[in-house]
Amino acid sequence: MRRPLESALVNTIVAVILAVFLIIITYKNDDPIVDGYEWFPVVAIALAFLPAPIILGCLWFDAWRRLKPIKQAADDIERRALTP
């Protein structure tokens, strides 16, 4: 069974990556835009939107693993109640 610490670790890693990215943007905001840096907006948008699905997926998987034994126990109780 996953420990809650693993979800906190994923959140911490994502937060650190976003903080570093924001610091880079802060220092580079006065630089002129030159050809060859068309990838930067794509990376900026990805770093802004990707953490939410990653964290949601981590939490969803964690909840699924924790609820699986409870669901199996409930299914077993139901099966025993319905069989004569």
Calpha distance 22→24 (Å, rounded): 5
Domain range for 17 is 4-82
Calpha distance 74→76 (Å, rounded): 5
Tell me how many domains the chain contains: 1
Q: Is the pLDDT of residue 3 over 90?
A: no
User: Directed axis angle between helix 39-49 and helix 4-28, to 10°?
Assistant: 150
Give 66's contacts (C-beta < 8 A, 6+ positions apart): 1, 2
CB 81 within 8 A of CB 51: no
Band the pLDDT of 1: cuts 50, 70, 90: very low
Q: What confidence tens digit (pLDDT) does each residue in 18-56 have?
A: 888 888 888 877 777 777 777 877 887 887 788 788 778
The pTM assigned to this predicted structure is 0.53
